[in-house]
Amino acid sequence: MRPAIRVLFPAFLLLLGSAAIADKPGFSGSYTLTKIKGGNFQVKKGSVWTMDVVQTAAVIQVTKVRNGKKFVNTILLDGTEGLCEGLDGITPEGMTKVGGRCKGHFKERYLYLESFVVFQSKVSWPKRFHVTERWELSPDLKTLTVRVDLDINNAESGQILFNTFLPRSEVYARN
């Protein structure tokens, strides 16, 4: 009986690990923005937003192109932080990006991506942008909804300054 357990137990553990990976949605693919809901954010008429996603068990690489401007982020999916450009890709007018870090994790059927980016202007304290995206695929895997939330803090005082563009939901069609 013991030799059978020695053979079957590792196989059982491998099966459990495979099932855990299988429960995580696969977001790899190309997407085109179809609409934005919520917030005061407006997409200019005729602008095109696309997103290419490559997902492995350890990382997700997100390439966004907004009005011809491209930015790429590679985000670790184990909850640890890594360097990134910032998820939203927006640099406030009159400010310069000082640095950015991102992290990601799965919770149930959702993928959560977070970025922490600091911007500096010549006339004010640094501002820390914390963007959280919650990704969800439709049951038919053809529609990706990204819920975007933003906190903007004055890095010196910790005061929340404004939140004009968010929260919002971006809806993408899978190409």
Contact of 115 with 89, CB cutoff 8 Å: no
Give the per-residue pLDDT at 90: 66
Q: Check residues 151 and 49 and name the one with the higher pLDDT.
A: 49
Q: Check residues 19 and 78 and name the one with the higher pLDDT.
A: 78
Give the per-residue pLDDT at 39: 66
CA 151/CA 87 separation, integer angstroms: 13
Contact of 143 with 174, CB cutoff 8 Å: yes
Give the per-residue pLDDT at 91: 72
The model's pTM is 0.77
Digit-coded pLDDT (tens) for 5-51:
444 444 443 333 333 445 789 999 999 999 988 866 667 777 889 99
Digit-coded pLDDT (tens) for 120-134:
887 777 778 888 999
Contact of 170 with 38, CB cutoff 8 Å: no
Give the per-residue pLDDT at 45: 76
Q: How confident is the model at residue 166 (pLDDT cuts 50, 70, 90)?
A: low
Reading the block at residue 12, the tokens are 């059982």
Percent of the chain residues past pLDDT 90, beyond the cut: 44
The CATH architecture annotation of domain 2-174 reads Beta Barrel (2.40)
